[in-house]
Amino acid sequence: MVPTPVDEWFRIQNVVCTAELGKSLNLNALAIGLGLEKTEYEPEQFPGLIYRSADFDSVVLLFASGRIVITGSPDLDSAERTFRMLSEEVTDILNIN
């Protein structure tokens, strides 16, 4: 008889990652540039911009400080792809280097 692994019930479904863009972000400009239909930004209620793109498997929270939280990723590779794509979009929209 083969022993049953102790952790067969355990599996990762939702990876949460944090990242830094290294630049301050204009969240008002990003809300418009990323598309109002894909973003939620109400600074009186929450200080971050919530971005849901059909191109990503995850939801991204962007903060004016340049910090980013990527949540809902099925795995680390997906979160890294999301960050690369997002940083390109943000750089293009805000013309930051």
Class of domain 15-94: alpha beta
d(CA 13, CA 75): 7
Domain spans of the chain, in order of start? 15-94
Q: Is the dihedral of CA 84, 89, 95, 96 positive or negative?
A: negative
95 sits in the region (left: phi over 0; alpha: psi -120 to 50; else beta) called left
Digit-by-digit pLDDT tens for the chain (97 residues) are 555 556 677 778 899 999 999 999 999 999 999 999 999 999 999 999 999 999 888 999 999 999 999 999 999 999 999 999 999 999 999 886 5
